[in-house]
Amino acid sequence: MSKAISTKPPSGMRDFLAEDVVRRRHVLAIVQRVYESFGFVPLETPTIENLSTLLGKYGPEGDQLLYRLLHRRDKLTRALDKGVKSEVDLSAEGLRYDLTVPLARVVANYNNLPTFYKRYQIQPVWRADRPARGRFREFYQCDVDITGTQNLVADAEVCGAIAQVLRELGFTDFKILANHRELLRALVAEAGIPAEQESLALIALDKLDKVQKEGVLKELSEKGIPDAQANGLLESLDRMREAGALERMCEGDGPGAVGARELRELFQLASGGPANDHLTFDPTLARGLSYYTGPIFEIQVEGLGGSMGGGGRYDNLIGMFQKQNVPAVGFSLGLERVLLVMTERKMFPDLAIGPELLLCRMAEVDASQVLAIASELRAAGLRVEVYADAVAMKKQLQYANSIDVSYVGILGPQELADGVIALKDLVSGEQVACAMKDVVGRVRS
């Protein structure tokens, strides 16, 4: 027996004990109910995807963070025999990195999906990132997406669903920052940055809230964008923050006008729904992922560095899996960030967990009789644990206290003869002989 085995989960991974699980479930039940109220239907995709599905969708940084599965048996033997140069020779499958690319694959694979496929998906994803506060290597995403339409009603609906989830969880002060990739592209072009450097510029810009202007200028410079152009871009973004700037751009006929008008329309569409008061134009919002094409979103909550989720329109991603392009828009909520803030702000209600009643028996009582009584009470809806051994009652009560159960039911020969349970309220200390049929009511009262 080796005593050297670590009993901790691997770096960036977590065990969820009972309290954690019920908190996660509390949030996920609300997410699911709200998503379904918007008419979304569930989808689940496998943990393991072919690398051909995953690679080239998230940009080079994303590809680096993919978990790859090692070849097995003959495949591994052949690879080792031929001589291995890189990971490419050793793996053909990887772990799900987000829920959007699997959705795109699914839309391309099944021809019986609705024209407008409104799906939600709540599953973990894996990224071999450096662990940090609120950043894990295994974490849950809660996505809603609508495929098949370019109509901004769809964009408004995914924003509405996310806003409604946050409201029902108890958040009041969140913002849904919104921007438009076409508007950004226009500003980048206007600053004199050539089209082939556009995505580098957006990736740098995406870090603005983390590294401030200086950090962005540094990265732009390192990527070969001249300071004059970099400064020009940041200045034009500053101008877009001024009151009325978006409106003026809508009225103009510059290259950013189409994006600006779409944003204006989106705000108008969302105005009667739950995202109203929360949607906020932010000209500096860029989003890191390369597949976005239209409106982009990010959830901002006071006191949380980084976002609680994000999304946007990606009209070309599904076309990477099939001949025909299919427009799509989606929004992803990050469960771990939601839990982090809700825990800090004590936003959880009391959540029921564990048995409501512990049945204990005296040594003279046969365990099978106690198990039969437990069966009856369980059938009546009670969560009942049975103490396995007929040890001293004091010891059984100590255990009851250690698991935080509220009631103990003691069974001795007298109770069995009388058809009652000696029901002890561990909070008040009161003990009464309770008829079997009254036990559930009394414990629940």
Spatial contact of 85 and 38, defined as CB atoms under 8 Å apart:
no
For the bound state, the minimum distance from the C-beta of residue 201 to its own copies, rounded and expressed in Å, comes to 24
One-letter identity of residue 272 = G
Instruction: Compute the distance between CA of residue 297 and CA of residue 119 in angstroms, rounded to an integer.
Output: 18
Instruction: Compute the distance between CA of residue 18 and CA of residue 15 in angstroms, rounded to an integer.
Output: 10
Query: Within its chain, how far is the Cα of 37 from the centroid?
Result: 18
Q: Is 383 in the site for its own copies (CB under 8 A)?
A: yes
Report helix, strand or coil for 243. Answer: coil
Among 29, 44, 210, 218, binds its own copies (CB under 8 A): 44
Q: Is 61 in the site for its own copies (CB under 8 A)?
A: no
Q: Is 401 in the site for its own copies (CB under 8 A)?
A: no
| Count, residues near its own copies per rule CB under 8 A | 115
DSSP state of 24: H
Q: Is 82 in the site for its own copies (CB under 8 A)?
A: no
Site for its own copies in 13-32 (CB under 8 A): 13-18, 20-22, 24-25
For the bound state, the minimum distance from the C-beta of residue 237 to its own copies, rounded and expressed in Å, comes to 29
**Window contacting its own copies (CB under 8 A); options: 184-192, 250-258, 303-311, 365-373:** 365-373
Structure tokens at 226: 């001249």
Instruction: Compute the distance between CA of residue 413 and CA of residue 365 in angstroms, rounded to an integer.
Output: 6
Which CB sits closer to its own copies, 169 or 384? 384
Site for its own copies in 96-155 (CB under 8 A): 105-106, 108-110, 113-116, 118-119, 124, 126, 128, 137-138, 146, 149, 151, 153-154
Q: Is 193 in the site for its own copies (CB under 8 A)?
A: no
Which CB sits closer to its own copies, 118 or 180? 118
DSSP state of 22: H
Instruction: Compute the distance between CA of residue 152 and CA of residue 267 in angstroms, rounded to an integer.
Output: 10
Q: How many CA atoms lie within 13 A of 274 on its CB side?
A: 20
First to last CA, the chain: 50
Which CB sits closer to its own copies, 2 or 224? 2
Among 28, 59, 63, 90, binds its own copies (CB under 8 A): 90
Among 221, 343, 375, 414, binds its own copies (CB under 8 A): 375
Which CB sits closer to its own copies, 246 or 382? 382
Q: Is 362 in the site for its own copies (CB under 8 A)?
A: no
Spatial contact of 97 and 129, defined as CB atoms under 8 Å apart:
no
Q: Is 351 in the site for its own copies (CB under 8 A)?
A: no
Which CB sits closer to its own copies, 45 or 280? 45
Site for its own copies in 208-227 (CB under 8 A): none
Instruction: Compute the distance between CA of residue 55 and CA of residue 91 in angstroms, rounded to an integer.
Output: 12
Site for its own copies in 318-337 (CB under 8 A): 319-323
Structure tokens at 382: 């009670």
Site for its own copies in 250-309 (CB under 8 A): 268-274
| 367-374 contacts at long range (C-beta below 8 A, 24 or more positions apart) | 369/411, 369/416, 370/411, 373/411, 373/421, 373/436
Among 59, 399, 425, 426, binds its own copies (CB under 8 A): 399
For the bound state, the minimum distance from the C-beta of residue 73 to its own copies, rounded and expressed in Å, comes to 8
Exposure letters 233-254 (e unless 16+ CB within 10 A, then b): bbebbeebeeeebbeebbeeee
Q: Which of 56, 59, 62, 81 is nearest to 71 (CA)?
A: 81
Among 58, 67, 97, 281, binds its own copies (CB under 8 A): 67
